[in-house]
Amino acid sequence: MAVTTLGLVTPHAPIEVPEVGHERSEVTAATSAAMLTCANLLERFDPDTIVLMSPHAPLLGDAFLVDTAASYEGSLADFGAPQVRLAPAGDVELARAVLEEAARRHVPALDRGASLAPLESGELDHGALVPLSFLDRRSRWPLVELSLSMLPYEYHASLGAAVASAAGALGRRIAFVASGDSSHRLLPGAPAGYSPEAKRFDEEVVRLVREGDFAGLSRIDPELVEQAGECGLRSWIALGGFLAGREVATRVLAYEGPWGVGYITAVAADPPVVAGLPPAVSDATGASGRKGGMPGDDESAPVALARRTIEAYVRHGVTIGLEDATGDLLSFSAGAFVSLHTSDGDLRGCIGTISPYRENLAEEIVHNAIQAATCDPRFPPLAPEELDGLEISVDVLHEPESVAGLEDLDPKRYGVIVTDGHRRGLLLPDLEGVDAPETQVSIATQKAGIRPGEPIALQRFRVDRYH
């Protein structure tokens, strides 16, 4: 399905980057998974240019800065990861067109290269480096970086509209990335102190973004904004200006707040594209600590549903209803694999469907979770005493695409489907010990009962993996 419009809301905490946070970055696994979804969308969209607004770019109180650099460069060396270095080209023509369009709209904007900015033109700050390290680490697409200002919110929306108009005049396909973190005061000991109002601010932001009401962000109570200590609101309002008048839908892909700072990841795109995206993942730690409750309450929605299903079926022989399934899991259908492992990491069951067979993803997960627990022919049915240490992952499959040969495969990035007549074998991506396309295809053909040398057709597919 083609992507014709793309806007992304991305957090920018360096600790989320594996090379910076190491094992601590696993705490924000939901955000990382959401950013992978954004990266997949960006690749499908294949923009001419990425326009990124960063709260940590040089800031003027009474004007925006638009960087007209012909090239950018930066690394996360200040955060202990000099190996994370990006060097995208700049889109000088677009940057200058944005300045001209901003002037026509009476939006104060200056060329960053001609200003007395604390960072030189083309020098990337971490507000740009962190999201780009997930979205475009190979620097495939040219970049234009925008700064915030302290001007009223409506100027930020007008600047976003100026970007859209300038891009349209040049025939540019633009992906607009609104970098920013939400409240910085969610927990006692948080970087900016603690405010009990911070959680309410984040809840309001998540609600408005989920509803696609970017204009509503500018109407949040100023006192609530002040209590939150946020840094992303102006970026998100600018994204709203960029999207104004376009037929788009939005989805919040993840929200987390484990260190007292709220991280929201969201996408705005064509409604059919958004309808096919994975469900939202909400962090259970938030501002109040780890949840208790039913099994799976502190996990992503797909895994929580799979765990509840298996608990109910193995312990009591009943199939759960879908009353507790999130609306996102009920809103679209997709193929899904449920994989079970012991606490030692040994496979204990894996069953799935390449294409959806049921009305929605929730029903697909419930059916396949029961099958993985009780009907995988390689293992006996799961016993109740095995449940406490059970590790569960759910892979939600994207639409497969045909490929010509091994050169189009990447076992870390894509799963593979091999077909010969009615025989078909599948292997999920990013499996331990499967590092080469030849190995991946060999295992898949063995699973299908296809002998070496027999002609096969190849397809690859992406997955959204939930742990």
pLDDT digits 0-9 by tens, 84-115: 999 999 999 999 999 999 999 999 999 998 87
Strands (E), 328-414: 336-341, 347-352, 391-397, 401-403
Mean pLDDT of 289-297: 33
* CA 140 to chain centroid: 18
Q: Round to the nearest angstrom and report the end-to-end CA distance of the chain.
A: 27
| pLDDT tens sequence across 34-76 | 898 899 899 999 999 999 999 999 999 999 999 999 999 999 9
pLDDT at 388: 83
Q: pLDDT above 70 covers what percent of the chain?
A: 93
State the pLDDT confidence band at 281, using cuts at 50, 70 and 90.
low
Mean pLDDT of 390-404: 93
CATH of 401-466, one of 3.30.830.10, 3.10.28.10, 3.30.1490.150, 3.30.365.10: 3.30.1490.150
Query: Residue 265 and residue 120: Cα distance in Å, rounded?
Result: 28
CATH of 301-397, one of 3.40.50.920, 3.40.50.300, 3.30.700.20, 3.40.50.1980: 3.30.700.20
- Neighbour count for residue 76 (Cβ, 10 Å): 21
Residue 203 has pLDDT above 50, yes or no: yes
Helix ranges, 136-193 (H): 153-170
Query: Residue 297 and residue 44: Cα distance in Å, rounded?
Result: 33
Helix ranges, 176-300 (H): 198-210, 214-217, 222-228, 233-243, 271-275
Residue 293 has pLDDT above 50, yes or no: no
Instruction: Just give the CATH number of 6-282.
Output: 3.40.830.10
Mean pLDDT of 368-374: 96
What ranges do the domains of the chain cover? 6-282, 301-397, 401-466
pLDDT at 204: 95
Contact 133, 82 (CB under 8 A): no
Q: What is the mean pLDDT of the chain?
A: 90
Residue 179 has pLDDT above 90, yes or no: yes
Q: Are strands 249-256 and 281-282 parallel, antiparallel or unpaired?
A: parallel
pLDDT at 173: 97
| pLDDT tens sequence across 244-275 | 999 999 999 999 888 889 999 999 999 988 88
Fold agreement (6-282, 301-397): no
Q: What are phi and psi of 268, to 5 degrees?
A: -125, 125
Query: Residue 176 and residue 162: Cα distance in Å, rounded?
Result: 12
Give residues with Cβ within 8 angstroms of 236, minimum separation 6: 9, 178, 180, 205, 209, 214, 217
Strand partners, 266: 9, 252
pTM: 0.64
* CA 124 to chain centroid: 21
